[in-house]
Structure 1
């Protein structure tokens, strides 16, 4: 007989009681007999909320996405809503992406909310995540849920929670909701739907979202410039196909070629190894179509349409991919330039980014005389800034992982509006006999050259989590004194909430919420951040270097990678 850890046995025995369906019980018994490793990974912990909510592999068990783990989340949120809004008929908006089981899980979540007397607005078909964020405010909801695992592999799904401002959960709501969920047993879940409280939504919200996107993402581009811009777009089998072509067309962009084989929503993502626009291979078919059509710009979005990858032609006419930091710099500079032209820069505006993104964004803010704010990784922190500083006007903000937010009408990264914004920039630059690539070089000439590189080490399962923990522990207990020949001058530990000035030997507090992030700064201006992902089984190393000339920067990055043994 296969030995099962007593703690795991205690957990799984609950799942073998009559409350759980027969198929679930049968699957667990099969795993007990034939898959002890899979059994351990399915039950050794509760699937946790990370930077983007709850995300994980679909399957049975406490550490999996299934009807019971999501049902328990929803029951906990239902209880919390009733406590927070005692004299209100609470309303929740729910959207879902193209993944396997997303539609069924979205209906299940709607059922649980309705069983608790909460009104539900459920999208009739798949829709982009930013549209859900918009819908929460547009429909006057107290909460929003989207079923998505973003760009994770096909076996994943997820559950993102939004609050009444349209932003994702932040403190104190996140901890309070988690406590509410953890206080429940699975048997506390109310699965019996009150169908009278579930209303399907689609066209009305679509039209309102498209109108708002065009209002926020358009900047006086001539129709001739729009007509002359050749665009290739791919939805990578995801939700953006429902909104991006519609928004581009309504904004006046008619010359759009779609990658037909990737325009069909499909949770298997059959044409790509990973549906992640951060990965160059994901845009291969789009780049091929760009050569056939002599396109000026290629744009691809991830499955839930909150991230976008951009490719443009370089000085030699060759298509090159912008990384997330470069795309963010171009969009931010352009927005501020437009504000300046319209005499809207009053000193009351701010832009935002994150601690692992390029320092170049702060340089741009300084150049235009606007306020710069920096937060932890994840757009929930940028959304929180918009909420926390209502006296300031939010212009735009982004992070290195290919996300961008234009204005505050959506409170999450928004690839719909950001796609339109990228096309506006490209069209205006082409009309001026320039390009986005040349525009970026002009920005570098003013801020200095910056080059960033991301290394992600995949560490799956319980063993992988332990390895990631050990890497972070070692970086803290045995800090580098120099990296690639340059002395370390500052170490920021966001878990301990302290910054150490190595030269002076003094520390100071970091006025930012705790997070498991460690950042090294060196004398030559390099910045190296280590951060375990909150949504994937990865540890990420973010490297940023800068200088007066571009040529030496790649070698500088290679030396850092070699020194840290990350190659």
Structure 2
């Protein structure tokens, strides 16, 4: 407790403003548990940025932890990017304090003689990625905590290519941040270096979204009835405009969720992965007979899609299903246009469905698989500039079409999902039937995710212990199937548990374990990079001989997943 108290008392010095000092003094006087949680560690500036609960303290998001990160980034840019005038573009979402934090960040950059382009109001994260290259900036920053609870905020950094920072820049920036004392932050803004931006960039972004997300002049877009919800987030300023410009005229917005609001008052969680978050939208879809529901998370980089099943009921697709259908649609268009020549690839991640790999292979297209996170897909594009990137996604409801945005992009992906639905409808099919046809050709793949929350210092230790146990005492069977391989991404090894053969994994180290059987049954485990959680990913598959048997097959696969969860004692 003495170490905690010593760290806290540093925040009572003149380096910190009166409001901050008062908040810390009150905790010292009467709330030792809260004080410990705020100071037991530093808010880490990780490989993409940081995300956490707002408040005073080293383990919180506030003007000082954000300031230290921004000062470190400034120092790194000045040392490593040799330009007469450096520039950075900043965007922010609908969360509490995002606009205020964005101005603090802009002030620090300008104080370090860096030109700042600051969006006038909330904007979608993919527009920030687009704006970095559009404005020829050296970096970009977005203030967002994605779909985390209302008390969270965060900070993500992008490099000049529009992708989030990856090696070597991430390590270099982290080193600069860690070397800094809070007293070294320069808050003295040079207002003449801060330029407010808005409509001109918006128009260019929407034009690019429509160009990339609309793939055929032969699609009857007037015939698709769409329900859209922004879940109180930033997408309300971009998605409706993009749909209208693309030619979708029958769009119905969930009015109760239209207004941006950092409290997200109509949902428990503004997460489009959760059926409950989209309930207002699916209720409206049922009321008006809509074909498709689209919901986006608060910073508009991920989307949830609900469509009608064979019985006409609204069904929320999981992220793997959506990415498979959209990738298949892109591949089909590329093939029809004669553009597939062996020099193309799609992107995926190690915890996403392997069905996308099989689908791409059937078109003669390679799948490059990276670690979790779209920064690795953006890096694939940069590392393989001589190849054509068709599209890429991950299980967590993110997708990216082409490379005009170098991050997951719910604006363009919304257009593509609607293209699939409209094209299928006018050809006597549906989005869901397109998915079933993929299952018929490749096997019915079913995935499931469990997230176990472990808060605080003790929770972090529990998560590490769970992964350590799985690593050091590996499973040998899953639901009666012998485990064939254990992939340990922290050790960079893949071991065949039957033969004992060990091969190297050529990816950056990451605390991820994946067990897999010969039939493709798979369990992956990893700590969340943004929340106090450990995540378990399950994937099972089975052949499907007829769309009429799809429901029964899905029930069997769901039962298999539940048996595995019970076997691992996770329920």
TM-score interval w.r.t. the shorter chain? over 0.9
- Consecutive unaligned residues in structure 1, runs of 5 or more: none
Task: Kindly tell me the number of residue pairs found equivalent between the two proteins.
Answer: 562
Runs of at least 4 residues off by over 4 Å: none
Equivalent residue number for residue 292 of structure 1: 287
Equivalent residue number for residue 353 of structure 2: 358
Choose from 553, 556, 569 the match for 1:565.
569
Whole-angstrom CA distance in 2 between matches of 1:81 and 1:177? 9
Q: Output aligned runs, 1:126-275, within 5 Å.
A: 126-222=122-218, 225-275=220-270
CA shift, 1:200, in A, is: 0.4
Q: Output aligned runs, 1:545-564, within 5 Å.
A: 545-549=540-544, 550-551=553-554, 552-564=556-568
Choose from 392, 414, 421 the match for 1:419.
414
Provide Cα deviations, 1:529-549, integer angstroms capped at 9, x if missing partner.
Answer: 001000111100000001114
CA shift, 1:6, in A, is: 2.1
CA shift, 1:178, in A, is: 0.6
Provide Cα deviations, 1:326-345, integer angstroms capped at 9, x if missing partner.
Answer: 00000000000010111111
Choose from 76, 82, 92 the match for 1:96.
92
CA shift, 1:52, in A, is: 4.4
Match of 1:305, SS? coil
**2:377 is the alignment partner of 1:382:** yes
Q: Output aligned runs, 1:50-65, within 5 Å.
A: 50=46, 52-65=48-61
Deviates more, 1:173-182 or 1:150-159: 173-182
Provide Cα deviations, 1:376-424, integer angstroms capped at 9, x if missing partner.
Answer: 0000000000011000010000000000000001000000000000011
Provide Cα deviations, 1:430-456, integer angstroms capped at 9, x if missing partner.
Answer: 001110000100011111110000000
Whole-angstrom CA distance in 1 between matches of 2:511 and 2:98? 30
Match of 2:502, SS? strand
Whole-angstrom CA distance in 2 between matches of 1:221 and 1:292? 30
Whole-angstrom CA distance in 2 between matches of 1:6 and 1:269? 39
Equivalent residue number for residue 309 of structure 2: 314
CA shift, 1:87, in A, is: 3.4
The CA RMSD over aligned residues, in Å, is 0.9
Contact 2:484 2:516 in 1 (8 A): yes
Match of 1:383, SS? helix
Deviates more, 1:49-58 or 1:118-127: 49-58
**2:463 is the alignment partner of 1:468:** yes
Match of 1:215, SS? helix
Contact 1:274 1:282 in 2 (8 A): yes
Whole-angstrom CA distance in 2 between matches of 1:93 and 1:212? 18
CA shift, 1:51, in A, is: 6.0
Provide Cα deviations, 1:436-490, integer angstroms capped at 9, x if missing partner.
Answer: 0001000111111100000000111111111101101111111111122111110
- Consecutive unaligned residues in structure 2, runs of 5 or more: 545-552
**2:442 is the alignment partner of 1:447:** yes
Match of 2:74, SS? helix
Whole-angstrom CA distance in 2 between matches of 1:230 and 1:485? 46
Contact 2:487 2:495 in 1 (8 A): yes
CA shift, 1:33, in A, is: 1.8
Match of 1:561, SS? helix
Contact 1:112 1:193 in 2 (8 A): yes
Equivalent residue number for residue 3 of structure 2: 7
Contact 2:92 2:99 in 1 (8 A): yes
CA shift, 1:11, in A, is: 1.5
**2:396 is the alignment partner of 1:371:** no
Contact 1:73 1:181 in 2 (8 A): yes
Whole-angstrom CA distance in 1 between matches of 2:505 and 2:268? 39
Equivalent residue number for residue 521 of structure 1: 516
Match of 1:62, SS? coil
Match of 2:249, SS? coil
Provide Cα deviations, 1:265-289, integer angstroms capped at 9, x if missing partner.
Answer: 0000000000000011000000011
Equivalent residue number for residue 31 of structure 2: 35
Contact 2:232 2:264 in 1 (8 A): yes
**2:401 is the alignment partner of 1:406:** yes
Whole-angstrom CA distance in 2 between matches of 1:64 and 1:124? 26
CA shift, 1:9, in A, is: 2.0
Choose from 502, 511, 517 the match for 2:506.
511
Contact 1:459 1:537 in 2 (8 A): yes
Provide Cα deviations, 1:499-533, integer angstroms capped at 9, x if missing partner.
Answer: 10111112111100000000001233201000100
TM-score with structure 1 setting the length: 0.98
Contact 2:229 2:296 in 1 (8 A): yes
TM-score with structure 2 setting the length: 0.97
Provide Cα deviations, 1:288-344, integer angstroms capped at 9, x if missing partner.
Answer: 110111100000000000000000001111100000000000000000001011111
Contact 1:238 1:305 in 2 (8 A): yes
